[in-house]
Structure 1
Amino acid sequence: MRYEDRLLRVLRYIHDNPAGDLSLDTLADVAAMSRFHWHRVFHAMTGETCAQVVRRMRLHRAAGRLIREKSPIDVIAVECGYPQPRSFVQAFRASYGMTPNAFRKAGRLDAPALLQRDGDMTMYPVEIRDVSQRRLIGLHHKGAYMQIGLKFEKVSTMLFSRDIWHQCGAMMGAYFDDPQAVAESDLRSFAGAEWQGGDTPDGFDMVEMPAGRVAVLTFKGPYATLKSGYDWLYGQWLPTSGETPRDAPCYEVYLNNPREVAPEELLTEIHLPIA
């Protein structure tokens, strides 16, 4: 088995079993390697320990559920691998800078833009740019947009394990459907990186983002709360801008790395193609 395949198996296992046994021994068994050697291989190839990846993926899933669902926080905690509510609160606060309850309240997304008071509305910077065509290599995803994280983990792992990261620009995500108009199970998206090399590497798919004018909103904060940026872009900026969207998908450009910065420091550009 290739080492890349071992990594991808382990990432899939973590994603599919957030409340399961994700100890180093278990993950080493999934990778079919000894515990001692697996820990060193994983850290050398990803830059993170297994424990760091497990924690990041569990808390990312919890953050998304806190925003999207009304499930009790304790239930979300257990289903994301934290059977003790206190340990969940401590881990979440350490990563997101606030308690799960405060995060849920701050990320409330059920108020349409026209019904929000000006004092409650977060303003986001938007600029118009002319961009060139961009080629992305990565992996297609079908289903809930909040579940695309596993594909990004896989893309990053494949780029690093093949030592072709230096031929890439920023990590990017393309989102082809309106989540309000298409069933969640049918949503189409793409997790990738801008490709500056030649032919598409084996195992990757490629999509192209067209050249032209784009409105770019810069969003700061956790990926789980990106929807508030989209709502402001479509509900506040676009109606007063005099611009018309093109028949082309929105895409996101990730300016920093969730492995290196806290969720509240993440910077994401939302690109809306306009005529």
Structure 2
Amino acid sequence: MRQSTAEHYRKRLDVLFDYIYEHIDEDLDMATLADVALISPYHLHRVFRGIYGSSLTETIKRIRLHNAADTLINADLSMEDVAKQAKYTSVQSFTRAFSESFGMPPARFRREGDHIQFSLTPLNTEESIMHDVTIRHADGLTLIGYEHKGDYMNVGQQFEKLQGWLVSKGLITESTRFFGVYFDDPESVPVDKLTSLACVLVENADGFPAEDDMRKYTIHPSKCAVLRYKGPYANMDAAYKWLFASWLPNSGEKVGFQPVFEEYLNDAHQVPQTELLTDIYIPLES
């Protein structure tokens, strides 16, 4: 069967995303990216924007800043080294770009970001209001998407591919719901062994035109603890630590037998990192 033009370009951009994530710490000039994607450099930007709704340059910038935020949280590099790793020529230009996306300069983010606020916030105080957890019954979910092996920080690679695939098939609408499923504890499982899924919710799995490399996963109806998290994905590990170390032992609840999962309520292509909304679900015993 002859593939559509949209499908052709989507597959080329899948290859491009693999290359970008594997070489994100290197110089990514447009001529090289065009060669990797086998798309004319005169048209690569237009094709990319047509499928993803944002520019290739902005997407690379967003991935690099996301990685920079993770570095600020988890590594003791100087600000000069973090800026250089993110491919900025000066700390000043890096600070401007980071502040625009994260709502605060990188030095302040390192000192005061949500990864700090969650670790300092005790239970049963006025400050804990910002971490409201609700108990709700979650309906069963049928999810289909791409499996990711490795650092959860890079699961966005599979979400980019999933979004491109949905666009190429004409399956994405305003009501499309995206989920991530996380099977392992990154504190106890080696990074290269971590498994997650970048998924879309489907109503009729049998009628959904999934491809062979996609995986179906069912989340059964269950009682869940739900934390609505607002802010950068790079900070979310702190939210998980707070949930399991502070909230859960004092909640009277016990974890269930399904993995944690997340629903992404807005689009990282469209809103600043500070405005990202994510519902974190921890399945509980009924």
Q: Same fold (TM over 0.5)?
A: yes
Q: Aligned partners of 1:33 and 1:111: how far apart in 2?
A: 45
Aligned to 2:259: 249
Aligned to 1:80: 86
Q: Aligned partners of 1:113 and 1:33: how far apart in 2?
A: 46
- Deviation string 1:151-206 (CA, Å, 9 cap, x unpaired) is 11111111112211249731111111111121122111111111224245114211
Identical aligned residues as a percent:
36
* Secondary structure of the corresponding residue to residue 36 of structure 1: coil
Aligned to 1:192: 199
What runs of 5+ residues in structure 1 fail to find an aligned partner?
A: none
Matched, 1:238 2:248: yes
Matched, 1:158 2:168: no
Aligned equivalent of 1:40, options 46, 55, 76:
46
Matched, 1:177 2:187: no
Between 19-28 and 30-39, report the one with greater CA deviation: 19-28
* Secondary structure of the corresponding residue to residue 174 of structure 1: strand
Q: Aligned partners of 1:54 and 1:252: how far apart in 2?
A: 24
Matched, 1:104 2:88: no
* Secondary structure of the corresponding residue to residue 193 of structure 1: strand
In the TM superposition, residue 114 of structure 1 has moved relative to its aligned partner by 8.6
Aligned equivalent of 1:69, options 67, 75, 82:
75
Counterpart of 1:15, as a letter, is: Y
Aligned to 1:127: 134
In the TM superposition, residue 47 of structure 1 has moved relative to its aligned partner by 0.7
TM-score (norm 2): 0.88
TM-score (norm 1): 0.91
Aligned equivalent of 1:140, options 126, 130, 147:
147
Change (3 A) 1:81 1:18: farther
- Does the Cα contact within 8 Å between 1:168 and 1:195 map onto a contact in 2? no
In the TM superposition, residue 115 of structure 1 has moved relative to its aligned partner by 9.2
Counterpart of 1:13, as a letter, is: Y
- Does the Cα contact within 8 Å between 2:142 and 2:201 map onto a contact in 1? yes
* Secondary structure of the corresponding residue to residue 42 of structure 2: helix
- Deviation string 1:236-270 (CA, Å, 9 cap, x unpaired) is 22222211110211001111111111111111110
- Deviation string 1:54-89 (CA, Å, 9 cap, x unpaired) is 111111111112112222222222222224222211
4+ long deviations beyond 4 Å: 108-122
In the TM superposition, residue 109 of structure 1 has moved relative to its aligned partner by 4.3
* Secondary structure of the corresponding residue to residue 123 of structure 1: helix
- Does the Cα contact within 8 Å between 1:174 and 1:190 map onto a contact in 2? yes
Change (3 A) 1:61 1:250: same
Aligned to 2:210: 201
In the TM superposition, residue 124 of structure 1 has moved relative to its aligned partner by 0.9
* Secondary structure of the corresponding residue to residue 66 of structure 2: helix
- Does the Cα contact within 8 Å between 1:24 and 1:39 map onto a contact in 2? no
Between 151-160 and 68-77, report the one with greater CA deviation: 68-77
* Secondary structure of the corresponding residue to residue 189 of structure 1: strand
What runs of 5+ residues in structure 2 fail to find an aligned partner?
A: 1-6
**RMSD value, Cα:** 2.4
